[in-house]
Structure 1
Amino acid sequence: MTAPKRKKARANGEGTIYQRKDGRWEAAGHVLAANGTRKRVRVYGTTRKNAADKLAEKIADSNRGLPVATADSTLGDYLTYWLGSVAVHRLRENTHTRYAACVRLHLIPGLGTKKVARLTAKDVRTFLDRLRTTCQCCTQGLDTER
């Protein structure tokens, strides 16, 4: 007689996957939050593989330094975090300085209060259209003599 197959244990840090009473699969694991702490996230799928793939994607994003969006995190908070914690180590000094200027002068005033979880492509397109049509020197108060 052969012994019954044992389930393979998941490695430390890979999270957990189980089937819920309603038949869906739930995967949970810890990822990086915007404030630098670890946060437990849950993803759902119709199959075990689907849920595992979704969780693996979230964990991979976290390992690349992309924090998960919380309900109250804004784009301004995320960009400030990204410039200070992620980009500073991956970009050359001049590139980082230019990115910081673009974020400070354009992105935070235009989209900084928008919640990351609710940011849509339409919001970004509207922002870019508005940025193209407005005079930047007047917007920043550089041309007050006119």
Structure 2
Amino acid sequence: RHQGFFRLDPHVDPISDGGNVFILGFCSPTVMSLTPVGGAMGSLMNQRAVSTKSWAAKEDIDVLMEPRTLCHLHGDARQLLNHGIRMGVDAAQLKKQGVNVPDNASLYDWWGGMTSPVQRSPMRLSVVLAFADVDEIF
């Protein structure tokens, strides 16, 4: 993903991939949000509203993914929670909330609330590994 556009609609990776999903991020910090399965579908919602309030306000769990952070989804986190990345907000949106950020063209994620912005770098890479536990195979 490039130019700061990291949006990823909330989803559960296919269960047939196995009970473990590892997500390893590179190049840019971002915030991955875990949100309950069965809630509003991210791609059908107003993405501008999602960028400032998230998919399931007060139910989401925000995961700060600094470069080289590894996130392991297993059990309930793997099966009962979607994972996704909000569209992002710009400096003007943050300033309306009273957050002091530089005037630039960067997009920001936020962690827990818009008062905790995380500036994105222009590019983000992620490696996703999925596999089953041994007892799932045999």
State whether TM-score is above 0.5. no
Bigger proportion of residues as helix: 1
Q: Which of the two has higher C-alpha Rg?
A: 1
If each structure's strand is expressed as a fraction of its own residues, which one has the higher value? Answer: 2
- Select the structure with the greater relative contact order (CA < 8 A; seq sep ≥ 6): 2
